[in-house]
Chains A and B, each alone.
Chain A
Amino acid sequence: DQQVKQNSPSLSVQEGRISILNCDYTNSMFDYFLWYKKYPAEGPTFLISISSIKDKNEDGRFTVFLNKSAKHLSLHIVPSQPGDSAVYFCAASASNTGKLIFGQGTTLQVKP
């Protein structure tokens, strides 16, 4: 039972363009959502998060959008840079637990 899904295993974009990574969830109890970036042989690095009471959160080049009715969130990276090439994980949590439920990840490649 995959409660958090990232349906695109990979994404390739040109440097300077927008990268859009998508994530869907099924559990309506989730009320906090996080994005992590991961390089090979390293631990995940926190990027940005959003509470379910909001529909948008922005931090520099990173913006997360939440559509609760569709149970969908997305991460926008503008402009994309080659250093953004990594695996991106979406994660969700419910307020009565501390655990994060992760998606399978999307590998982003930003071409110079």
Chain B
Amino acid sequence: NAGVMQNPRHLVRRRGQEARLRCSPMKGHSHVYWYRQLPEEGLKFMVYLQKENIIDESGMPKERFSAEFPKEGPSILRIQQVVRGDSAAYFCASSPPGRAQETQYFGPGTRLLVL
């Protein structure tokens, strides 16, 4: 039973480029969450999605950031026109239906470096 998968593990972008981060949840999990960890800080919630629906995006920056979880395929976190402050580790987590609160299983993360 594969865990949460994220790719790429490392991503380097120049300022102004786009970054696309992918997350495949654990089998049977229909809830996906994205978190960001800045250096020397804890994880900060960004967005909570179910298939084809955004449930809570209260942690997403208003501009340049978007997320989706289509009916087929992985969840995508897209950052347009990246800036140096976007450099961070981005973690995806998933949970089974009805157990969102009890536990979330995390992927290995994507480390984004903006030059």
Contacts and interface: CB of A to CB of B under 8 A. Distances in A.
A82 interface: no
A49 B93 CA distance: 16
Contacts, number: 69
Given A43-B91, A43-B108, A44-B43, A97 B56 contact: yes
Interface string B86-115: 000001010100001111111111010000
B42 A98 contact: no
Interface string A86-100: 000101011101111
Contacts of B56: 97-99
A94 B56 CA distance: 13
Contacts of A101: 45
A38 to B, nearest CB: 9
Nearest to A6: B42
A42 interface: yes
B44 A102 contact: yes
A26 B109 CA distance: 28
A49 B103 contact: yes
Tell me the dominant secondary structure on chain B's binding face: strand
Interface of A: 4, 6, 31-32, 34, 36, 41-46, 49, 89, 91, 93-95, 97-105
Given A43-B109, A89-B43, A104-B41, A32 B102 contact: yes
24 contacts: A6-B42, A32-B101, A32-B102, A34-B103, A36-B106, A41-B111, A42-B108, A43-B4, A43-B6, A43-B91, A46-B104, A91-B43, A94-B101, A95-B101, A97-B56, A98-B33, A98-B56, A99-B45, A99-B59, A100-B33, A100-B43, A102-B42, A102-B44, A104-B42
B69 interface: no
A100 B4 contact: no
